[in-house]
Amino acid sequence: NLSFTPDELKTLFRNRLNLSPEANDDFLDRCLDGGDWYPFSEGRRFVSFHHVDELRICASCGLTEVHHAPENHKPDPEWYCSSLCRETETLCQEIYERPY
């Protein structure tokens, strides 16, 4: 599995480390530094830094999705999850470039 919900992570670590629920929560809050949380369409999910290259993150809203690109594929420098995000980013850029 590439990404994990908070509950999936709790279960995974509780089963492997055999910690009490309180100690498990504390461990996840303090020691889980091998990845980061990303906003997917189905909610917040944890992804290991090892798999970050397999993600696309919308340049406008930050929505994340898994993207399995061919090996020689160069990622798009800016990816937009929707036409609304692309239009929003274009408008923001136009406003930014206007003289005072």
Distance CA 88, CA 4 (A): 30
Residue with tokens 């340049």: 59
The pTM assigned to this predicted structure is 0.79
In order, the DSSP letters of 6-32 are: HHHHHHHHHHHH---HHHHHHHHHHH-
pLDDT classification of 75: cutoffs 50, 70, 90 = low
Return the pLDDT at 1: 81
- Predicted confidence (pLDDT) per residue in 40-61, tens digit: 999 999 999 999 999 999 999 9
